[in-house]
A = this chain, B = another copy of it.
Amino acid sequence: MTGWLRVVGLGPGDAAMQTPQATDALAAATDLIGYMTYLDRVPPRPGQARHASDNRVELDRARHALTLAAGGARVAVVSSGDAGVFAMASAVFEALEAGPPEWRTLDVQVVPGISAMFAAAARLGAPLGHDFCAISLSDNLKPWPVVLHRLTTVAAAGFTIALYNAASRARPWQLGAALDALRPILPGCTPIVFATAVSRPEEAITLATLADADPACADMRTLVLIGTAATRLIDRPGQRPWIYAPRSHPPAAP
């Protein structure tokens, strides 16, 4: 048997947002590897081995997957959202680069998925309709001053921001500090959205402004969107307003 490795993005949770390519890769795999919460989203299949792990052992998981594939297994490493966005694909290539030379001849493919930020944006309207950034707020692998510098730099330059890893039990204060750092830069009325578990049964969306945003609205399932001075809200009777980024830059150049 010739082994292979697929790094599969499951999308945000709703099966209707999982691509046929991802579904096919999962069905053809002999082994599934991933964080247990994500593996739980994949229906069991007779004869398929499932290797569930904790959330914090990405490199170990990547090495395990490459070792199995090199041994002839057909391995799917599962990620939520898109596999290449703050997910398993980078860990797999880090492990591959540092591993034995024969891993470079393996059949490896990344299978993209609907990322959390695009699922959230679609639910809200079109808040990423113009230039935008994705930033991980985690300071586990990046010094906190770098996080703050990147955040304030892009906010000042007019980008909409999608914040990944905005909060967790181990990182409780970072989001509050990030919002504080943005307050001197963006207007108080700048829309802030807490989009939690979009497309899953526990979906919750909270709209706020930079002036009143409460960081406690975020947990580890939450994507935080930070608008710009140009972000528009469209009021609707009896429903959450639409949020979108106009395509045109305001006539007055900075």
Question: Measuring CB to CB, which residues of chain A are less than 8 angstroms from any residue of chain B?
Answer: 11, 14-21, 24, 58, 82-86, 89-94, 96-97, 104-105, 108-115, 118-119, 121-123, 125-136, 141-143, 145-146, 149-150, 153-154, 157-159, 232, 234-237, 242, 244-249, 253-254
Contact = CB atoms under 8 A, between A and B. Distances in A.
Given A122-B111, A234-B104, A150 B142 contact: no
B150 A84 contact: no
A93 B142 contact: no
B130 A136 contact: yes
A122 to B, nearest CB: 4
B112 A122 contact: yes
Nearest to A106: B236
Contacts of A86: 129-130
Contacts of A93: 125-126, 129, 232, 234, 242, 244
Given A119-B112, A246-B90, A145 B20 contact: no
A17 B19 contact: yes
Closest 6 A/B residue pairs (Cβ) = A90-B129, A89-B126, A142-B249, A93-B244, A110-B122, A16-B21
Contact of A104 (B82, B132, B133, B236): B236
A85 B82 CA distance: 15
Given A21-B16, A104-B235, A142-B249, A244 B136 contact: no
A19 B11 CA distance: 10
B145 A150 contact: no
Given A249-B141, A254-B149, A85 B118 contact: yes
A84 B20 contact: no
Contact of A84 (B19, B105, B129): B129
B104 A110 contact: no
A94 B246 contact: yes
Contact of A158 (B146, B249, B254): B146
A242 to B, nearest CB: 6
B237 A104 contact: yes
A86 B249 CA distance: 13
A68 B19 CA distance: 29
Contact of A17 (B112, B125, B157): B112
A247 B129 contact: no
B132 A237 contact: no
